[in-house]
Amino acid sequence: MIGRHSILFLLLIVCFSSKISSEERIVEGKLLQFGRMLSSGNDYIQILSNDLSPELSRLHNQTIRVLCQMRGENCDPIRYETYPFSETKGLPDWTLKKIPNYVNRGYFAFNPTVTPDGQSIFWTVYSSKGKSGNQRIWFSEKDEKGFWRDGKEMPSPLNNDLNSAVIAVLPSNNELFVFGSFGDDEMSRKLQVEFQEKREELRRNTRDEMEFRLKEDQLAYEYLRKLNHLQNKVTVPLYKSYKDKGSWSYPKPINFPDFTNLYLKNNTSVFGGSTLSSSGRILIYSVQQPDSHGKLDLYVSIQKEDGSFSIGKNLGEIVNTSHEETAPFLAGDDRTLYFCSDGHKGLSVYVTKRIGDGWDNWTKPVEVSANLKGVNFFSIPVNSDWAYVSKDGQLYMAYLPHNFRPNPVVVINGKVLDEEGNPLSAEIHYESLTRLEKRGSAKSDSKTGSFSLVLPYGEKYGFYAEKEGHLSVSKNIDLTESKQEDAKMEVEFRLPALAVGRQILLNNLFFETKKFEISKDSEPELDRLANFLKSNPKTKILVEGHTDNVGKKELNQELSESRAKAVADYLISKHKIDQTRIQTQGFGDSQPISSNDTATDRQKNRRVVLQIVE
């Protein structure tokens, strides 16, 4: 008979064993005995048999880092990576590192596209599924320890019966730029339903059978013409999908009315791939047009104010050859372009740099490495030592030499919250205050409020968050002086509700010392304020001017009043805002929000505030 103390002892053993078996541990070492043993320092750890055993057996004598579910002293492998590891430095140029087979499940994989933060990867696999296509989108994410998880096929709607592929992911990781064919089948069905409805209506309203037959034939001809136009039209095969609350939206075609592609194989249009800048505004794509130098040339299209993409411009004969230039990838610096070509020195990956401010002047392309011959796709996360490539149906990482890396950039990681700290789904726009030009936009995640921007050096930027029913809030960053290293910056936007008494700082309003004239780089901020007032015609505002405590109080008071009045005058004179809707008041140095002990604190006190008064 088992006593109470014996039962308690057995329970403790069970609990303790359960705790041991659930422990996860990262172990590095050399695989021995065809993947059944790991030599780590002075220890030998047995590798238990599971689904990873076949691929681990092929890594005999290789060094790996493995995430183990420890079963006593034995390792039940969960995920792994081979040496060299992701953080390894000083490797030979273009060292190739294979991504484990468990990620792509052994399928023929190509076209890796990595998110700018390097935490997710999309790729294309050949599949037997589908009526007329066999290319489908797969993805994987890194776990909290930095290992790639098992790959998964993307669900509908991003995969359908036709070919699909991810071309680019914007920095906030909630906007996908995809290749495929979405919507034509639905439009065909819609036309057929519409035809039947019109036919039934015609039947109800036409008594004479002969007249009905005649009108029915006319109606059928009209809809047949529409259907033929739909099926034969040349459309850009590029779409955007947005992620909201964990799900991807149905892809919508980008607005590119002048897209053309003349390259056909077996009476089928052949598209050579495309890339999108991190801003989402610059599209580089591979097609054949009347002015092409070869079968497939690279073209650039810039998004216009109305959201449509302009007529593509050939990148020129420095880049394009009489053969094929395909699979472009534009790095986050908006200057470094990688692409595949068989017309320079044989099929390989090449790199070129944009010269100046335009998009038609490039350096002579240089082959990145003979080691990458046969590589046909290329993707680089921001702030990374590695590129992601595909070769012979396998996914690889390639170590980037310094002279082939993109120029440094600054990554803005931010959040948009309401006044209580709850996340908001908002639009974030950024612009060059140096050139007074719009640069791009992003959306914050509805669950977390998070977003990311990638900003190249060389300009002063303003960025702002806006959401209906809230006041827009702005910030700025001066990147006019280039640096040799990538950088990161954390920002937070708190958007007040649009209500009487709420106020915001006009952060992108700039004045020269002791002056009140509106500077050119302040105009975008005031133009947005004017648009806000036009969209809310009953709203009245108070513009407050504040200074630091340097100088005489009387002069500071006068300066604060003059700056507030300068804002009002700009809105009234340029945008014709009714002057009765704008009050101004100067407070001098009487209402500091920070001490005046340092230059940074004094800068905070020199401000213009907008308050809703009605």
Q: In terms of DSSP bridges, do strands 460-466 and 473-478 run parallel, antiparallel, or are they unpaired?
A: antiparallel
Instruction: Let me know whether 493 and 504 are in one domain.
Output: no
Residue 442 lies in a domain: yes
Select from 175, 210, 232 the last residue of a domain: 232
Is the same domain home to 559 and 590? yes
Query: In this structure, are 553 and 606 located in the same domain?
Result: yes
Describe the strand order of the beta sheet including 377-379 as a list of residue ranges.
96-98, 394-399, 386-391, 377-379
Residues 477 and 507 in one domain: no
Determine, yes or no, domain membership for 509. yes
Q: Helix or strand or coil: residue 471?
A: coil
459 and 478 together in one domain: yes
| Same-domain status, 481 and 529 | no
In the block, residue with structure tokens 């990147």: 479
DSSP string, 527-544: HHHHHHHHHSTT--EEEE
Tell me the helices (H) and strands (E) count for the chain, helix number first.
Answer: 8, 39
Let me know whether 512 and 485 are in one domain.
no
pTM over cut 0.75: yes
Whole-number Cα distances in Å, 69 to 14, 75, 378, 610:
17, 6, 34, 57
How far apart, in whole angstroms, are the C-alpha atoms of residue 421 and residue 518? 33
Where among 82, 103, 121 does a domain terminate? 82
* Domain final residue, candidates 497, 518, 543: 497
Query: Is 523 found in the same domain as 488?
Result: no
Q: Which two tokens stand for residue 391?
A: 């070769």
- Tell me, yes or no, whether 569 lies in a domain: yes
385 inside domain: no
- ∠581-498-523 over CA atoms, to 5°? 60
What pLDDT, in 10s, does the model give residues 555-593?
Answer: 989 999 999 999 999 999 999 999 999 999 999 989 998
CATH of the domain at 478: 2.60.40.10
Strand order of the sheet with strand 325-330? Answer: 325-330, 336-341, 348-353, 366-367
Residue 415 domain-assigned (yes or no): yes
DSSP per position, 249-306: PPPEE---TT-----EETTEE----EEE-TTS-EEEEEE--TT-SSSBEEEEEEB-TT
Answer for the pair 563, 608: CB distance below 8 angstroms, yes or no: yes
Dist CA 49 CA 56 (whole Å): 10
Q: Are 2 and 18 in contact (CB under 8 A)?
A: no
Q: Which residues contact 524 (CB under 8 A, 6 or more apart)?
A: 431, 433, 436, 462, 508
Q: How many domains does the chain have?
A: 4
Question: 484 and 528 share a domain?
Answer: no
**N-term to C-term CA, the chain:** 84
Q: How far apart are CA 597 and CA 283, in angstroms?
A: 48
Predicted confidence at residue 200, as pLDDT, reads 87
Is there a domain that residue 568 lies in? yes
Residues 563, 504, single domain; the answer is: yes
pLDDT of res. 80: 97
* Structure token digits, residue 51: 């689904």
- Cα–Cα dist 413/207, whole Å: 68
Domain assignment present for 296: no
For the chain, which ranges sit under pLDDT 50? 1-2, 4-21, 130-131, 232-234
* Residue-range definition of the domain harbouring residue 34: 22-82
Q: What is the pLDDT of residue 514?
A: 84
Three-state DSSP at 370 gives: helix
* Residue 206 confidence (pLDDT): 83
- The answer as to whether 583 is a domain residue is yes
Q: 537 and 586: one domain?
A: yes
Buried b (16+ CB within 10 A) or exposed e, 537-564: eeebbbbbbbbbeeeeeeebbbbbbbbb
Residues 536 and 490 in one domain: no
Render pLDDT for 133-181 as a digit per residue (tens, 0 to 9).
578 999 999 999 999 999 999 988 898 888 889 999 999 999 999 988 7
